[in-house]
Structure formats: C-alpha cells, structure tokens
A and B are shown apart, each in its own frame.
Chain A
Amino acid sequence: MIRLKLITLSGMRIDKDVYEVMIPTKAGEIAVYGGHAPLIGVLSYGIIHVREEKSVKDADRHATAVFGGTIKVLDNELIILADEVEDLENLREDEITKALERAKSLKKLAKDQVSLEHAQEMIDRQTVRLQLSGLKRRHRSKRN
C-alpha cells in the first residue's frame, strides 16, 4: 500500500492509502505501488487510475482526468500536484465531441506557432476528457 495525496489549487482531492496508481507522465504511463523508489516526474495530460485494493477490478478503478502537474514519490508517499483535474461526474460526451471538433478546426486555421500550440493543447485536453467519458459509458453498460 502507498499513501496517495492528490492535491490541486482548490484543495486536497484524495488523501488515502491505496494499492496501485497509474499515472500519465511525460515519459509515458507508469504504475506506482507501495515501496516505490524515490521519483520526481512531470505529469502530462491523461487519466489517473486509482486501485484502492488489490481485489478491485480494472473497470471499477477510480478515474480522474489530469491536465499537467508534478509527481513526487518519497517515503512511501505519492504526492500528485495537479494543475487541473476533472472528475467523471461533470462530463458530457456530446459537448466534448463538439469542443474537439472546434479545436481541430482551430488547428487547421492556425497561422503561427503560438496558436498552433494552443489548438494542440485544446485537442489534447478534449481527447483526454473524451477518453474519460468513454470509460464512464463502458462501466455503466457493463454494470447494467
């Protein structure tokens, strides 16, 4: 078990002992278990999966979308300083799809590097949100 602290600017989101955490970092997705070596890394856009107990199935893991930040593993404690997070509850798939389309068209129209990067950032963000809402849909259909 490892202590997980997910901290955002609006407060502590998660603070409990968990079995496994999957984290999207700039160097790829990593899984952190208890007794992990000290590590400092940069969070990329993606979804954090938290498995509270070993027995929890993949589909029942707690999922949170994160948009950048920093992670630190030290003394069997995983601290995630997230720039921004989003939970499943607030997502609406149709809206995200629309936003993704908009972002893609923005990217086509982008003339300079700055607006291109901005558009790419929006695309990445919406893609992550879409993934998360996709997870939600699948979980629901499995349960029913």
Chain B
Amino acid sequence: MAGVTTLKRRITSVKNTRQITKAMELVSASKMRHAQEYAINSRPFKEQARLLIGQLSSVSDAKLDDLFANRPVKNELLVVVCSDQGLAGAYNSNVLKKFIEIIKQNKADKINTDVISIGRYAGKFVAKHKGLNHHSAYPMLGDHPSPQAIAPMIEVITSHYLQKKIDRVKVVYTQFISSIRQEVVSVALIPYLIDPDDKKTETRELSPLEVAIFEPSVEEIIESVGIRLIEVQLWQALLEAGASEQSMRMMAMKNASDNAGDIIEDLTLALNTARQAAITQEIAEIVGGAEAVKS
C-alpha cells in the first residue's frame, strides 16, 4: 500500500487539476451560450437566402450563371473547420476523421483535393498530411465574430471557382444540434444544390416568381445574392462549429471534473485505510511492548 504522504500529495494534485477543469467548464459554458446565440440568430438569414436562391434557380436565366453550373469535378476544394485550442473532447478528431474519409473517396474517384483549413488544429493536420494541396490556413473566429472576417476566404474561394481552378467547394464542419449533440457534416458550398426539401417550396412558388419584377436585372440580382449566399453559408458553418466546439469543451471539462471527483474519493478512501492501518499497527506494537515488560 502506498504511503500516507504519497497519497496526500496525489490527492492535492488531483484537487488542483479539478479546480482547473471546473474553471474551464464554467468559462466554456458561458462562451457556449454566446456562440449558440450567434448561431441561432443568423439561421433565419441563411434560410431566407437559400429559399431565394432556390426560387431564382428555377428562373431560366439563372441557370446560366457560373455559380449554379454543375461541371464535371476534377478539382475539389475542401474547407475544413476545426478549433484553435484543444481540450474539447473528440471535437477535432471527429472533423478530421470525416475529412480523411472524403479525401479517400476523392482519391478513389481521381479527384484532386485542395484544402483551406480554418482553425489551428486543422492547419497542423493538413500540413502534415502528404498529397494534399494546402491552399491557405486561417484562424478560427474569435468570441465576437464579425462577418467581415470571412471576406478574404470568400474572395479566394469564388475567384478560384470562377477561374475554373476548382469545380466544387465543400465545407466540413460540426453542426450544432443541441448542447449535448453535435454532428460532423460536409455541405456543398458551390455549385449551389437544391435539396429535395427546397424543391417543394420551389415548385410551390415557381409561378409567382416567373412573373416577378426583377430590379435592376436577373443577372445583377444573382450576382449579389449568389455571392451573399455562399458567404452566409460559410459564416453559418463557422458559427455552428463555434457553438459545437464550446459545447464539446464544456462536456469534456465536465467529465474531467467528475472523474477527478471520483479519483479523489478513491484516494481519500485509500488514505484513510492506510492511516488506520498505521494506527492499528502502532497500538499493536505498544500493547505487545507492554506485555513483554509485564512478563
């Protein structure tokens, strides 16, 4: 059995660790609330922009626009979103697992993969991975994100797409569902794809838009909305990722604090046993000594 002093030292050390993880849990809980608020607030904009593009793409002129064109894919750009800091449980490894899956699939389909990494963890990982064209690396959004922060990324992405250097852009990020549930998803950013849910609304509202007035012209509207939609989708992805990161960090830290509590309990029990054993032994020695003197 370990000595009493060693056990005491270990208990103090675990208690210190628990203090840190507890503090981190509280910090990320408060950050999570803000991040969630940001993510949820910008959802209506994204939904409306998506709906509008869905409706616009049913207007025949819109199909001509490059941002809606489905070309055969030879080069794909992946935007992978991780965190700047660790200690968030499986957050980063989940994203990177999905990322590897896509790369493997692309290799099998003979598609070249370019990567833009967001977050320090993604950057480090992609840099180490061979056979990828690491396009550029950006830090993750801070605690108070501003839409201007993604302007340079959008500029790079759209210009490369329009110059036909890339044929498809996908974002890999963690979708925030609830504080305890997050899911890694990959979403097509360009070309814009209408999913089956959107199709319903599209057909329902197809006729009114056919007769709609376009001011100044369909082309100009698509130019302004198209880029905006890409921007808002990437922006939303980053906000969702931010909210997920904080939630997962909070859960990880909560588990760490709980585990530390368990360890402290076990160690205290061991310490008490050891102390009691020492006392019992001392008494036995004293009694034994006294008996020896008597006889």
- Chain A residues in the interface with B (C-beta under 8 A): 5, 7-12, 25-27, 30, 37-42, 68-70, 72, 74-75, 79, 81, 83
Docked-complex contact A9 and B232, CB < 8 angstroms: yes
Nearest CB on B from A72, distance (A): 6
The CA-CA distance from A10 to B224 in the complex, in Å, is 19
Which of A39, A40, A79 meets B48, CB within 8 Å?
A: A79
Docked-complex contact B42 and A10, CB < 8 angstroms: yes
- State which of B87-95, B175-183, B205-213 sits at the interface with chain A: B205-213
The CA-CA distance from A25 to B220 in the complex, in Å, is 12
Q: Which residues of A contact B232 (CB under 8 A)?
A: 9
Q: Which 3 pairs between the two chains have the least Cβ-Cβ distance?
A: A11-B41, A38-B212, A41-B215
Interface residues on B, range: 20 to 34
Docked-complex contact B49 and A42, CB < 8 angstroms: no
Take A7-B44, A42-B220 as given contacts and tell me if A81 and B228 are in contact as well, using a CB distance cutoff of 8 Å: yes
- Chain B residues in the interface with A (C-beta under 8 A): 38, 41-42, 44-45, 48-49, 52, 56, 147, 205, 208-209, 211-216, 220-221, 224-225, 228, 232, 235
26 intermolecular pairs with C-beta atoms under 8 Å apart: A8-B45, A9-B41, A9-B42, A11-B42, A11-B44, A25-B215, A26-B216, A26-B220, A27-B215, A37-B211, A38-B209, A39-B213, A39-B214, A40-B212, A41-B215, A41-B221, A42-B220, A42-B224, A69-B228, A70-B228, A74-B208, A74-B209, A75-B208, A79-B52, A81-B49, A83-B228
A sample of 8 more A-B contacts (CB under 8 A), given A11-B42, A42-B216, A68-B224, is A9-B41, A9-B232, A11-B44, A38-B208, A38-B209, A39-B212, A42-B221, A70-B221
Q: Which residues of B contact A39 (CB under 8 A)?
A: 212-215
Chain A interface, >50% SS class: strand
Which of A9, A11, A68, A74 meets B212, CB within 8 Å?
A: A74
The CA-CA distance from A107 to B151 in the complex, in Å, is 22
Q: Which residues of A contact B235 (CB under 8 A)?
A: 9
Q: Which residues of B contact A42 (CB under 8 A)?
A: 215-216, 220-221, 224
Chain A residue at smallest Cβ distance from B218: A40
Nearest CB on A from B19, distance (A): 36
Docked-complex contact B214 and A40, CB < 8 angstroms: yes
The CA-CA distance from A68 to B221 in the complex, in Å, is 12
The CA-CA distance from A38 to B207 in the complex, in Å, is 10
Q: Which residues of B contact A9 (CB under 8 A)?
A: 41-42, 45, 147, 232, 235
The CA-CA distance from A68 to B223 in the complex, in Å, is 13
